[in-house]
């Protein structure tokens, strides 16, 4: 496949070995790999996001409180259709519609789209995965290249409520309590699944599996595979989360 | 079908015309009607719930903060299998497993169960349907028979945080703001659906449609069909919510 027809997939680099780290872009990388679509990652730092989007015609993914457009990754440009698409939710719909898989490999099986969107809302709820952010955001910031840090944090100010990065990261007794919330949150996700379910949809891989596993990869990336934190997470709920990362490992090529 | 083989479906009566009002039991009544299962409602007041459950062997649906068992409706007794089942989530799984429908009429299509559970969590989240409760609980209490009121409120103390029923019900400017939250919450549900979706799963009716429509019926029951509140709700999001209630009206027989 010549470079001219490859999907251009925009992502933020980092100090990690593979460059890739963001759970928001990973969910689309998983999907591109799973669908075996030819693509090429284009690495851009945070300050380049808005100018690049404007250049290729990728729309903003949201509006800032002051009314100005907010541009973010992931966004893609598909030379075959000459379309630029932003926002993982819109990108996955575009990919499934433009490059449909067989029903058994569809990431959006018929009748599941509203359910998958609700799942994503439920997953990032305050009582579910949200408590992870206070741990993960300060550590993500330290994985970024200098030029990206300020932009990354700017978009996450709300989480901080005026606190510094060091203050956000829980310490001491607070750390124990907040980490317990993370465990409880994954317990909620576990309660949705049947013990025998490998994936959210049972045996078939669907888009929300990639959303979920991208959060798990993020945890592993931040603390490292041998950390006590990853040992915790990968052992919770009878090892379900460690197994999910392993089961989807074949779709993690960084192209 | 003789009375001896009918599913016994336990529900709380009220001052309403049909007796039925609880969104928690309505979701199962919809399912029983949709699946055309022979059943008979047994009306019991709140103080009778725990003794009746114990008598027929229906387990508690939760544990109270003090560690004691919490019994609640809906629960059913199925003379065919001699099983007593509590909790709408467990009842629907039992009904689908024991009396499976064709795939096109299954309320739990293959691979959707975890997604449906997540949908229910997302639906009742603080930013979605939860703001309705402050309006609906005081009005529900006034629809109940005297003997049930105290028990109904007991289980909903948390919502009140020490406030009286009259204090919970928003008034004046606060009412306008809180009603706006209800509208915004239904807007979130609307954002999960495609404009053309009649039901959450598109064309096929699934269990969460009955969960959602039971909340909508509750609103209509509380204020009445001609109220400005129901006119509001049924017109939000291009009339989607009014249409959903109408589209599922054929499954509302109270047996």
Is residue A14 helix, strand or coil?
A: coil
Residue B3 scores a pLDDT above 90? no
Q: Are residues A92 and A138 in the same domain?
A: no
Mean pLDDT of chain B: 95
Quick one: pLDDT at residue A3? 57
Residue contact B117–A188, C-beta within 8 A: no
Angle at A233 between CA A32 and CA A193, to 5 degrees: 70
Q: Which of A115, A122, A189 sits opposite B112 (nearest CB)?
A: A115
Q: Are residues A166 and A88 in the same domain?
A: no
Query: What residues of chain A lie within 8 A of the CB of B197, using their CB?
Result: 114
Identify the CA nearest to B5 among candidates B58, B69, B77, B75. B77
Q: Are residues B232 and B120 in the same domain?
A: yes
Query: What residues of chain A lie within 8 A of the CB of B240, using their CB?
Result: none
Q: Which pLDDT band holds residue B2 (cuts at 50, 70, 90)? A: low
Distance CA A147, CA B183 (A): 41
What is the three-state SS of A120-185? HHHHCCCCCCHHHHHHHHHHHHHHCCHHHHHHHHHCCHHHHCCCCHHHHCCCHHHHHHHHHHHHHH
* Cβ neighbours, 10 Å, residue A200: 30
Q: Are residues B146 and B194 in the same domain?
A: yes
What is the three-state SS of chain B? CCHHHCEEEEECCCCCCCCCCCHHHHHHHHHHHHCCCCEEEEECCHHHHHHHHHHHCCCCCEECCCCCEECCCCEEEECCCCEEEECHHHHHHHHHHHCCCCHHHCCCCCCCHHHHHHHHHHHCCCCCCHHHHHHHHHHHHHHCCHHHHHHHHHCCHHHHCCCCHHHHCCCHHHHHHHHHHHHHHHHHHHHHCCCCCCECEECECCHHHHHHHHHHHHHHHHHCCCCHHHHHHHHHHHHHHHHHHHHCHHHCCCC
Q: Which of B188, B200, B203 sits opposite A115 (nearest CB)?
A: B200
ipTM metric? 0.93
Quick one: pLDDT at residue A2? 53
pLDDT, one tens digit per residue, over A160-215 is: 787 888 889 999 999 999 999 999 999 999 999 999 999 999 999 999 999 999 99
Residue contact A119–B118, C-beta within 8 A: yes
Q: Are residues A159 and A246 in the same domain?
A: yes
Mean pLDDT of chain A: 95
Distance CA A255, CA A38 (A): 9
Q: Are residues B50 and B90 in the same domain?
A: yes
Q: B118: number of CA atoms within 13 Å, CB side? A: 34
Quick one: pLDDT at residue A12? 97
Q: Are residues B176 and B64 in the same domain?
A: no
Quick one: pLDDT at residue B163? 84
Query: What residues of chain A lie within 8 A of the CB of B113, using their CB?
Result: 192, 194, 202
Distance CA B84, CA B57 (A): 6
pLDDT, one tens digit per residue, over A88-118 is: 999 999 999 999 999 999 999 999 999 999 9
Q: Are residues A91 and A128 in the same domain?
A: no
Q: Which of A114, A123, A204 sits opposite B111 (nearest CB)?
A: A204
Residue B148: domain span: 113-251
Distance CA B247, CA A154 (A): 46
Residue finishing a domain among B76, B105, B134: B105
In what helix (H) or strand (E) does residue A191 lie, and over which residues does it extend? Answer: helix A172-192
Chain B residue whose CA is closest to A109: B111
Stretch B129-144: mean pLDDT, rounded? 95
Number of domains making up chain A: 2
Distance CA B132, CA B16 (A): 20
Residues of A with CB under 8 A from a CB of B: 109-119, 121-123, 125-126, 128, 188-189, 191-194, 197, 200-204, 206, 208
Q: Are residues B100 and B127 in the same domain?
A: no
List all residues 6 or more positions away from A51 whose beta carbon is below 8 Å from its beta carbon.
Answer: none
Contact criterion met (CB below 8 Å) for A92 and A83: no
Length of chain B: 255
Stretch B245-253: mean pLDDT, rounded? 97
Distance CA B49, CA B42 (A): 11
Shortest Cα distance from B127 to chain A (angstroms)?
10
Residue finishing a domain among B105, B126, B147: B105
pLDDT, one tens digit per residue, over B161-212 is: 878 888 899 999 999 999 999 999 999 999 999 999 999 999 999 999 999 9
Q: Are residues A243 and A122 in the same domain?
A: yes
Shortest Cα distance from A123 to chain B (angstroms)?
8
pLDDT, one tens digit per residue, over B90-125 is: 999 999 999 999 999 999 999 999 999 999 999 999
Residue B158 scores a pLDDT above 80? no
Quick one: pLDDT at residue B1? 47
| CATH number for position B7 | 3.40.30.10
Residue finishing a domain among A86, A105, A124: A105
- Higher pLDDT among residues B160 and A3, named by residue: B160
Identify the CA nearest to A242 among candidates A233, A254, A234. A234
Residue A77 scores a pLDDT above 50? yes
φ, ψ dihedrals at B40, nearest 5° = -140, 125
Identify the CA nearest to B114 among candidates A120, A215, A244. A120
Query: What residues of chain B lie within 8 A of the CB of A189, using their CB?
Result: 118
- Higher pLDDT among residues A165 and A60, named by residue: A60
Distance CA A234, CA A220 (A): 9
Both structure tokens of A21: 């780290």
Q: Are residues A144 and A200 in the same domain?
A: yes
| CATH number for position B132 | 1.20.1050.10
Contact criterion met (CB below 8 Å) for A230 and A223: yes
Stretch B218-231: mean pLDDT, rounded? 96
Q: Which pLDDT band holds residue B251 (cuts at 50, 70, 90)? A: very high
Contact criterion met (CB below 8 Å) for B78 and B57: no
Q: Are residues B137 and B247 in the same domain?
A: yes
Give the residues across from A232 on adjacent strands: none
Q: Which pLDDT band holds residue A1 (cuts at 50, 70, 90)? A: very low
């Amino acid at each position: 496949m010549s470079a001219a027809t490859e999907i251009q997939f925009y992502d933020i680099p980092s100090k990690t070995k593979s460059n890739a780290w963001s759970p928001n872009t990973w969910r689309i990388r998983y999907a591109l790999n799973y669908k075996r679509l030819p693509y090429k990652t284009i690495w851009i730092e945070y300050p380049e996001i808005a100018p690049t989007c404007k250049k290729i015609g990728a729309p903003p993914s949201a509006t800032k409180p002051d009314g100005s457009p907010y541009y973010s990754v992931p966004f893609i440009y598909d030379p075959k259709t000459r379309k630029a698409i932003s926002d993982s939710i819109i990108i996955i719909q575009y990919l499934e519609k433009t490059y449909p898989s067989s029903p058994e490999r569809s990431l959006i099986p018929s009748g599941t789209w509203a359910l998958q969107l609700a799942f994503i809302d439920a997953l990032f709820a305050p009582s579910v995965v949200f408590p992870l952010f206070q741990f993960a955001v300060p550590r993500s910031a330290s994985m970024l290249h200098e030029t990206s840090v300020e932009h990354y944090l700017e978009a996450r100010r709300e989480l901080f409520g005026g606190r510094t990065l060091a203050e956000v990261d829980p310490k001491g007794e607070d750390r124990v309590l907040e980490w317990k919330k993370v465990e409880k949150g994954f317990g909620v996700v576990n309660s949705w699944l049947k013990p025998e379910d490998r994936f959210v949809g049972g045996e078939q891989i669907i888009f929300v599996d990639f959303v979920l596993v991208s959060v798990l990869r993020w945890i592993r990336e931040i603390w490292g595979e041998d950390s006590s934190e990853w040992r915790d997470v990968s052992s919770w709920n009878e090892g379900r989360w460690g197994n999910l990362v392993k089961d989807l490992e074949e779709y993690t090529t960084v192209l």
